[in-house]
Amino acid sequence: MLKILSSGFYTTIQDLGRFGYGDIGVPVSGAMDLYSAKLGNHILGNNHVDAVLEITLSKFSCRFDKETIICISGADLSPKLNDNNIALNTAINIDKGTVLTFDTPVYGVRSYLAVKGGFQTQKILGSRSFFNGVTDQFLIKKNDIIPFEKFNSNLGRSFSAVKINVEHFNSKTITVYKGPEFGLLSKEQQEKLTNTEFAISKDNSRMGYRLEELIPNDFQSMLTSAVLPGTVQLTPSGELIVLMRDGQITGGYPRILQLTDTAINILAQKTTKNTFKFKVISI
């Protein structure tokens, strides 16, 4: 079992998400940065769909009440085991009673804690991913107990390590496809969309990121249409909203851009006041 000592800013259980339930209004959810979450599982030899802890920003701590092997991937939030610094993207033996802490962010926003065999929380609609209204719990809290299977560290395993992909965290280029309503934009609006360096507003979460810079428009209202994680909507006020993993499944604003899968992962490691530019690519 994993005992939560401090829940941190925003910590959840996530896997790759739940699919096929959009018709009843259930979003995909899943790890914000799927690249990092899958990397941690891969290093441990887990199944790529195994559940991990998604730890946002800092001040998280926990105690392992049985032995296992872990891997920490994604953002560097200064992880320590029993007050000793540890490396990211490598397999680490854990003894019973070991305390893991996260503190000051060095780079990135979201870190992933994977254990051998994955966390064994309840599956709902084929996924362990937390989401308010679908799962009984949507945030990890202090004193929570999270189950996982004990792993005998004497068994054979690979201690592979992966070099950090710095561009994943530092890149200021967000690749996108043209959205269904991109053609409604004038040439001037299209140029502004791709030439502007956008800043993420303080209103950012697993549901979506609002951007500070505006694209003025006089578009008429449109029928509610399907949207996806990575859909960029343009509001009547000119504000852009980038939907993220917990975003709704329909929306009534023009869908002017669609982030690539890689771009969603990169954006997930950015937060308030971080900046970037959109780069339109062809399918």
Nearest to 43 by CA among 100, 92, 98, 106: 92
Q: What is the mean pLDDT of residues 34-50?
A: 96
Residues 179, 225: Cα–Cα separation, whole Å? 12
Same domain (yes/no): 23, 128: yes
Residue 155 has pLDDT above 80, yes or no: no
Computed over every residue of the chain, the mean pLDDT equals 94
Locate 245 and state its tokens: 């993993």
pLDDT band of 223, cuts 50, 70, 90: confident
pLDDT for the residue 148: 94
Helix (H, G, I), strand (E, B) or coil at 143: coil
Residue 154 has pLDDT above 80, yes or no: no
Question: Among the three residues 167, 202, 224, which one is the final residue of a domain in this structure?
Answer: 167
Same domain (yes/no): 221, 105: no
User: For residue 117, which amino acid is it?
Assistant: G
Burial class (CB in 10 A: 0-12, 13-18, 19+), 167: exposed
pLDDT for the residue 242: 98
Q: What is the mean pLDDT of residues 56-73?
A: 95
CATH of residue 240's domain is 2.40.100.10
Q: What is the mean pLDDT of residues 214-234?
A: 92
Q: For the whole model, what pTM was predicted?
A: 0.94
The residue with tokens 């490396």 is: 87
Gap between the terminal Cα atoms of the chain = 45
pLDDT for the residue 271: 96
pLDDT band of 23, cuts 50, 70, 90: confident
Q: What is the mean pLDDT of residues 212-223?
A: 90
Residues 260, 263: Cα–Cα separation, whole Å? 5
Same domain (yes/no): 20, 82: yes
pLDDT band of 74, cuts 50, 70, 90: very high
Locate 251 and state its tokens: 């929306």
pLDDT band of 153, cuts 50, 70, 90: low
Q: Edge-to-edge strand order for the sheet containing 99-102?
A: 84-85, 80-81, 99-102, 60-64, 2-7, 145-146
Residue 158 has pLDDT above 60, yes or no: no
Same domain (yes/no): 111, 156: yes
Same domain (yes/no): 153, 267: no
Per-residue pLDDT tens over the stretch 79-91: 999 999 999 999 9
Same domain (yes/no): 202, 257: yes
Q: What is the mean pLDDT of residues 177-201?
A: 96
Same domain (yes/no): 157, 177: no
Range of lowest pLDDT (20-24, 92-96, 106-110): 20-24
**Which ranges of 84-185 does DSSP label H, i.e. alpha helix?**
166-170
Rounded to 5°, the CA angle 29-161-104 comes to 60
Residues contacting residue 122 through CB under 8 Å, at least 6 positions apart = 128, 135, 136
Q: Check: CB of residue 100 under 8 Å from CB of residue 79.
A: yes
Q: Which string of DSSP letters, residue by residue, matches 25-59?
A: T------SSHHHHHHHHHHHT--TT--EEEEESS-
Question: Among the three residues 118, 144, 167, which one is the final residue of a domain in this structure?
Answer: 167
Same domain (yes/no): 19, 139: yes
Q: To the nearest whole percent, how much of the chain has pLDDT over 70?
A: 96
Number of domains in the chain: 2
User: For residue 48, which amino acid is it?
Assistant: H
Question: Among the three residues 112, 134, 167, which one is the final residue of a domain in this structure?
Answer: 167
Same domain (yes/no): 119, 176: no
Per-residue pLDDT tens over the stretch 100-139: 999 999 999 999 999 999 999 999 999 999 999 999 999 9
Same domain (yes/no): 160, 175: no
Q: At residue 10, what are phi and psi to the nearest 5 degrees?
A: -165, 105
Domain ranges, residue 275: 171-280
Same domain (yes/no): 42, 144: yes
Q: What is the mean pLDDT of residues 10-17?
A: 97
Nearest to 195 by CA among 282, 280, 278, 257: 278
Same domain (yes/no): 210, 96: no
Residue 46 has pLDDT above 80, yes or no: yes
